[in-house]
Amino acid sequence: MKAVRMHAHGGPEVLRFEEVPAPEPGPGEVLVRVHAASLSHLDIWSRAGLPGHASPPLPHILGNDAAGEVAAVGVGAPEELVGRRVLLNPGYGCGRCGECLGGRETFCQQYRILGYETPGTHAEYVKVPAENLVTVPEGMDYVDASAIGLVFLSAWHMLVTLGGVAPGQTVLVLGAGSGVGSAAVQIAKLYGARVIATASGAAKLKQARALGADETIDHSARPIHLEVRRLTKRRGVDIVVEHIGQATWPESLRSLMPGGRLVTCGATTGPFGETDIRYIFSRQLQVLGSYMGSRAELHALMPHVASGALRPVVDRVFPLVEAVEAHRRLESRSHFGKVVVALDDVDA
């Protein structure tokens, strides 16, 4: 099969489009013929190498999300899955421990994410546990379906499970042009919240409003917390969706109302956020860490995708052979939504 692999850590130039052996599904696993796969910042971090994080064996196939059709099943997986149009839940645990059986698989000591700890989706075929399959909604194409899994699951876990978003609350979404940001804007609106979204530049701010943001802030023009105070009449927001990290961390904390909740799932600008601890306890703020989400949460959000209430946002589609350019597009921060690689033109 054709795949894009990294042979060393570094910039996009370390990626190679090449022929590799196709995986074989083991017990309880399925083999998925990938039609489209999206990129995430996990791909950038994995490719560059994360200090303190063990690298998977090289060469390595990146890619957390994908959509395609089931091509084969391993022993114990249902035969009727063959031919089904599916998208993938990117994360999975051992399936046997108390955390997995209790629906908290992200706490499993063996929890892994496709393309991060295991071979990923930027290939013609990928193998996954059968329980990680989600049926593609009727009428949705593979490109859109590939842009759902990681970002909508992450945003849902942040806002619904941890943040407790509710009607009448105000939510600040940092980086609305990102995959998680564009999903978070929609989920917050689905739950009846008022949404303030940040982005850089008039074009992205306009796109954020088109997704449902009630107010927008150009975070390159003025401190975020000052604009939040103005827009909320000095009250602050109930929830901050934070995934930018070092560059926005102090602004995110200062944007919260007393008793507000900051939920964080990433640090794309750096891992060290300056924090005045006195501000945390005196205003009784909550800082919540979020990492992916459960299979149950992904299945809970999918009816809203099927109805059109939540919709994937695709920035641009590249053929798999142009994966280097897709990585450069994501790193440039010029995108709005997900960058996708398509595999339908790859020779079998």
The b/e string for 94-118 (b: 16+ C-beta within 10 A; e otherwise) is eeebebbeeeebbebeebebbbbbb
Q: What is the pLDDT of residue 279?
A: 94
Q: What is the pLDDT of residue 348?
A: 40
Asked whether residue 347 carries a pLDDT value surpassing 60, the answer given is no
Q: In what order do the strands lie in the sheet with 194-199?
A: 215-218, 194-199, 170-173, 237-242, 256-264, 286-289
Set out the domains of the chain in order of their start, with CATH numbers. Answer: 2-148+312-342 (3.90.180.10), 152-289 (3.90.180.10)
Q: What is the pLDDT of residue 222?
A: 85
Q: What is the pLDDT of residue 346?
A: 60
Strand 338-342 to 314-319 pairing? parallel
Distances in whole angstroms, Cα of residue 230 to Cα of each of 201, 237, 282 = 20, 11, 22
Per-residue pLDDT reduced to its tens digit, 94-125: 999 999 999 999 999 999 999 999 999 999 99
Cα separation of the two ends of the chain: 7
**Averaged pLDDT score across all residues of the chain:** 96
Per-residue pLDDT reduced to its tens digit, 59-100: 999 999 999 999 999 999 999 999 999 999 999 999 999 999
